Amino acid sequence: MFGHKARNGVQVDGEEAVAKPLSAHEQLGLLEIGEILLKYPAGLVQPFSRQELARLKKRFVQLIPAKDASRDLRLPLAVLLQMPELRAQPFVPFVIRLLLAREVKESSLNTSSGIENIDEEMVSFSAFVTTLAVFSVKQPLELKRRVLFDIYDQGNKGHCAKAWRFT
């Protein structure tokens, strides 16, 4: 009747049910706090308030280049790594790559052993927020240790590769 309702990614206006795709901003508005964080790493807590998430959503959408705006709310990795806040953290590229590799593995979109050209990969809002959440002061130290270990554990063998020990 009055206003609009969102169903299955389509905005429905009035009784005639005229459907149109949701804008990027409207899609982000539908995300719930519990749905934003990725499943990895286990034990990750949501460190952001609703207001902080709203600011993160706004910033994320602003960073999406116009040519990529129609791509399911994804940001090119190269753009993300240029953010001044993230450039100061030396492990951010490794954590993002770890999250992207797990996202690809979980979604079964890529059956190869790895991501071939990761700098052309697109980062979802969930991966973006999860990366920031890993570095939050609200996360337990053990969780951060586990993530760092996973970065250096080549091939999920349970130990760090020799090449990484001295870098």
Report all structural domains of the chain as residue ranges with CATH numbers, in order of start.
Answer: 23-165 (1.10.238)
Q: Which residues lie across from 18 on neighbouring strands? A: 13
Highest mean pLDDT among 30-39, 65-74, 109-118, 139-148: 139-148
Vertex 74: Cα angle to 71 and 75 (nearest 5): 120
- Residue 31 vs residue 81, higher pLDDT: 81
Residue 27 in this model has a pLDDT that exceeds 60 = no
- Residue 23 vs residue 12, higher pLDDT: 23
Distance CA 57, CA 24 (A): 10
Q: Which residues lie across from 4 on neighbouring strands? A: 13
Distance CA 161, CA 123 (A): 27
Q: Tell me: cis bond preceding 41? Omega within 30 of 0 counts.
A: yes
